Chains A and B, each alone.
Chain A
Amino acid sequence: MNFDFSDDQKLLRDELRKFLVNESPLSEARRVMDQGLSHSAAVWSGLGGMAVNTLMLPESCGGHGLGALELCVVAEEAGRQLAPVPLASTLYLAVQALLLGAGEAQQLRWLPRVADGQIATLVAPLDGSAMVRPRFDGKALHGNAPLVMDGEAAHFAVVLADGPDGRPLLVVAELDASVARRRLATIDPSRGFAALAFDATPAEALDAVDDAETLLDTLRNRAAILLAFEQLGGADSALAMAAGYARERKAFGRAIGSYQGIKHKLADIYTRNEMARAHCYYGAWALSCDAPELALAAAGARIAATDAFGYAAQENIQTHGGMGYTWEMDCHLYYRRARQLAVALGSRHAWNERLVRELEKE
C-alpha cells in the first residue's frame, strides 16, 4: 500500500506553488477577465519554462518520462490559484487524444508543438451529447463547432468530424486563418470558450484510432481526473479564504469563526474537500497505471470534486457577508470558476450516471 504522492512529486508541488503564488495571484485571473484576454500568456509560458507542457509526452516529443501523477500535482496547484491558462484544453484533452489515437510518426508531428508552448484543444461534445459535427473531406474540415474550450487561442485541435463515409472520425486540424473564431461570453470570463467555423481547414485523420467513441470515453475519464484536481485546488483555496476571514472579522464582539453557524459550515467544507481529495488521489492512481478501475475512479473524483468546489465557493461568499457579494472581493472568481468547471466536462448528473453504470458492472 502506497497511497500518497512521492517526495519528488511534493517537491514539484512546492516549486509550482511558489511560482504560481507569485506569478498567478487571483489578480491575474481578474486581469484576464477585465481585459477580455483568452488566457495569461505570462503564466502559460512560465509553466512551460517549468516543463509542465511536456509532462506525459513521450521522450521523442520532448517529454521527460514524467507522467500522470505530476500532471495531477500541476492541476491542483493551478486550480488553487484559479490560474487562467489553457491546461485543460491542451494537456488534459488534446494531448491525451493524441497519446491515445495517434501513431508514433503522427505524434512526432504534433506533440512537440505543445512542448514548444502551443495551445491545443478538443472539438467534441464532452458531455456525451449529440452535436452537429464538422465535415472532413479527407484533407480539410468544413462546418461549425459551436463550443470550443480555449478556441480563441488554440493553434491546433483534435476534432470529432463526420468522415468522408459519413461515420464519426477523429482528425487533427491546423487552426490557421481559414478558421473564423468568435469569443463566447461565459460565466467565468477568466477561462475562454469560442465558436469556430471551419472553411477548408487543413486536417488529417488520427491514424491509430480503433473506435472514436471508445477513445473519447477514455479521454473523458482521463480529463475528468485532471480537472478534478483543479477543482480540488480551488475548493481548498476557497476554504482557506473563508477561514482566514472568519478568524479576523468580528460581529457582536467576537470573531465570526467562533460562531458555530460559521465554524460548522467550514468544517463541512473541510469534510467534503478531504473526501474529494481521497477520490482524486484514487483517480490519480488509476490514471497513472491505466487501471481497470479508471472509469469508476474518474467518476468518483469528478463528482466529489465538483460538489466540494461548488459548496466551498458558494459558502465562501456567504462567510464574507456583503463584502463577499462585491466585485472587488475575489469570492465571485471562485463562484464562477466552480460552476464553469462543474459543467465543462458534462454535469454531475451525467457523471452520476457514469458512476452507477460502473457500479452495476461490479
Chain B
Amino acid sequence: MDFKDSPDEAAFRAECRAWLEANATRKTRPDQVYGRGLNAEQLMAASREWQGRKAAAGYGAITWPAAFGGRGGTPMQEVIYREEEGQFEVPPNAFAVSLGMVIPSLFVHASDEVRARYVGPALHGTELWCQLLSEPGAGSDLGMVRTRAERCTDGRDGWILNGQKVWTTYAQFAQFGMVLARTDPNVPKFDGLTSFFIDMQAAGVEVRPIRQASGEAEFNEVFFNEVFVPDTQRVGAVGAGWKVTVTALMNERLSIGGVMPPGLWKTAAGMMREASLNGASALADGRMRERLADLYLNAHGLWLLQARGLTALGKGREPGPELSIAKIVGARTLQDFGYLAIDLQGERGVLAAEEQGEAWRLVEQLWFGAAGMRIAGGTDEIVKNSVGERVLGLPPEPRTDKGVAFSQLGS
C-alpha cells in the first residue's frame, strides 16, 4: 500500500500545477470562495469561460475517450487535477450534470451524427445541457413521469411533447436538455418511457426559475406546451428511456470527492480555537473535541473510500459497492459542519455572510447546499433502500405497481 504518486501521476500533477499557475490565482486560504459580488449570470459566464480554457488545454474532460475530445485519462488523473484545482480560486463548476451525466449517456445511446454535432460544444462550455427528469409527481419514483411524447400525426417525423418538469438545475442557462417522457401509458410504468433531447429555445418550452431554500435560483420549473421534437433527437430506442436514464445516473459515481472541500476539519478546528465556551477556547471543551474528531473521521474517511475506488479502477476492476454510501456520509458531514460553524459563533451566529465577512460564505453555502445534496440525485432514504437491497440482499418492499399498466395506476 502507498499513497505516493506513481512517476506518471507525479508528472501529470506537475503538469496540472504548472498550467493552473499560469491560468489562475492560488488561494490564500482554503475556505476562499470564487466570485465575490458576481451575480448568477456572471458566475455562469465565468464558469463557461473556464471550462472552455480547460477543454482547450486538455483538462476539460480528462476521463473521456479521445474519440470524443477527452484526454483518455484515468479517474486518478481526474482526481489529481481536482486536487490541484482545489488550491486555486476558480469559478464554480456548472458542468457536473452536463458533462458528468448527460453527455456520457449520449456516448452510449446516441447516433454518430448526434455525437459529432453536440459533444464538442458541450465540452468547451459553449453549450450547456440540463437533465429534465423530475416532475411534481415523480421524483424518487421516476417511473411516475407523466410528461407525454406522442407521435406527430401531421406527417412530420417527430414527437409532440406536453407536460412539466421541476427542480431542473441550470435549465435557465442551458441550450439543450435531456427529457424523460412517457410514450406508452399502456404498459408498466418503467417500460413506457423514452428519452429525447430538446433545444431549450424551441417553441413551447418555458423555463421559470424557482427560488431555492437558500435564496438562490439554480433550479427551475420547465413547461412543455406542444413542443415539436424531431425523431432524430430521440436517444435510444422507443421504450428504452429508463435504461438511458440509469446510464446517466450511474455516471455520477466518482463525483463525490469533488464536493468535500479539502481541509474542512482544519477550518472547523480554527473556528473552535477562536470561539470561546465556558470562558475558555472551545477547542478545550471535550464535546467540541468529539465533534472535531467525528468531522475528521468522516471527511478523511470519504477521501480514503475514494482512494479505494481509484485503486480498483487503476487495476482495471469495478469499484466496490462501498462507494454508494459516499453521498449519504458526505452530505450529512457537510450539514453537521454547517450547524457546528453557526453554533460556534454564539449570538453572532444570527448574522449572514454579508455581515460576517467573506470567509463565512463557504459556511452558508455548505449549510444549505448539504440539505439539497441529501435530496438531489436520490435521497438518503432511497440510497439506503438501495444499499439494503443491492448490497445486503434484503427483499424489496411489496409494491402495488408491479406489472400494472401506467394508465391503470392511481396517482
Contacts and interface: CB of A to CB of B under 8 A. Distances in A.
A356 B120 CA distance: 48
Contacts of A239: 392
Interface stretch (B172-180, B200-208, B242-250, B380-388): B380-388
Contacts of A4: 1, 308, 311-312, 315
B325 interface: yes
A255 B293 contact: no
Interface stretch (A35-43, A45-53, A56-64, A278-286): A278-286
B395 A285 contact: no
Given A281-B304, A303-B293, A352-B293, A2 B395 contact: no
B contact residues, range:
35 or more
A275 B294 CA distance: 12
B388 A356 contact: no
Interface in B275-327: 283, 289-290, 292-293, 296-298, 300-302, 304-305, 307-308, 310-312, 314-315, 322, 325
B298 A275 contact: yes
A353 interface: yes
Nearest to B4: A1
B398 A266 contact: no
A282 to B, nearest CB: 5
Interface centre among A277, A288, A356 (most CB of B within 10 A): A356
A247 B395 contact: yes
B398 A355 contact: no
B75 to A, nearest CB: 10
B165 to A, nearest CB: 28
B397 interface: yes
Given A263-B388, A274-B322, A281-B308, A258 B289 contact: no
A151 interface: no
Interface in A331-362: 352-353, 355-356, 359-360, 362
A266 B328 CA distance: 14
A27 B385 CA distance: 33
Contacts of B329: 271, 275
A232 B289 CA distance: 24
A269 B103 CA distance: 35
A247 B394 contact: yes
Contact of B305 (A1, A243, A254, A275): A275
A263 B325 contact: no
Nearest to B1: A285
A353 B289 contact: yes
B391 A254 contact: no
A101 B349 CA distance: 52
A246 interface: yes
Contacts, number: 146
Contacts of A228: none
Contact of B393 (A3, A247, A303): A247
Given A2-B311, A279-B301, A356-B289, A270 B391 contact: yes
Nearest to B380: A264
Contacts of A254: 395, 398
Interface string A56-79: 000000000000010000000000
Contacts of A285: 1-3
A234 interface: no
Contacts of A267: 325, 383-385, 387-388, 391-392
A271 B297 CA distance: 13
Interface in A258-302: 258-260, 262-264, 266-268, 270-271, 274-275, 277-279, 281-282, 284-285, 288-289, 300
B301 A304 contact: yes
A257 B289 contact: no
Contact of A263 (B4, B5, B265, B385): B385
Contacts of B387: 267, 270-271
B308 A264 contact: no
A257 B325 contact: no
Contacts of A360: 269, 283
A301 to B, nearest CB: 10
Contacts of A282: 300, 304
B156 interface: no
Label chain B's interface by main secondary structure: helix
Contacts of B9: 1
Contacts of A259: 397
A246 B394 CA distance: 7
A257 B392 CA distance: 10
Nearest to B317: A4
Interface string B4-31: 1110010000000000000000000000
Contact of B394 (A255, A268, A289, A355): A255
Interface in A192-243: 239, 243
Nearest to A300: B297
B76 interface: yes
B396 interface: yes
Contacts of A270: 325, 387, 391-392
B185 to A, nearest CB: 29
Nearest to A6: B1
Interface in B349-370: none
B211 interface: no
Interface string A3-34: 11100000000000000000000000000000
A266 B388 contact: yes
Contacts of A288: 1
B297 A303 contact: yes
Interface centre among B76, B292, B302, B395 (most CB of A within 10 A): B395
B266 interface: yes
Interface centre among A258, A270, A271, A274 (most CB of B within 10 A): A274
Given A275-B305, A279-B301, A264 B388 contact: yes
B293 A258 contact: no
A359 B269 contact: yes
29 contacts: A1-B9, A1-B76, A1-B307, A2-B2, A3-B3, A3-B308, A246-B392, A255-B394, A260-B381, A264-B384, A270-B325, A271-B329, A271-B387, A274-B305, A275-B298, A275-B305, A278-B301, A278-B308, A279-B300, A284-B1, A289-B1, A300-B296, A304-B297, A352-B293, A353-B289, A355-B293, A356-B289, A356-B293, A359-B265
Given A255-B395, A284-B1, 15 more contacts: A1-B310, A2-B311, A2-B314, A4-B311, A69-B1, A254-B395, A263-B389, A271-B387, A275-B325, A278-B302, A278-B308, A279-B297, A281-B1, A304-B297, A356-B292
Interface of A: 1-5, 69, 239, 243, 246-247, 254-255, 257-260, 262-264, 266-268, 270-271, 274-275, 277-279, 281-282, 284-285, 288-289, 300, 303-304, 352-353, 355-356, 359-360, 362
Query: Considering the complex of A and B, which 5 residue pairs feature the smallest CB-CB distances, nearest first?
Result: A257-B394, A278-B304, A263-B388, A267-B384, A274-B322
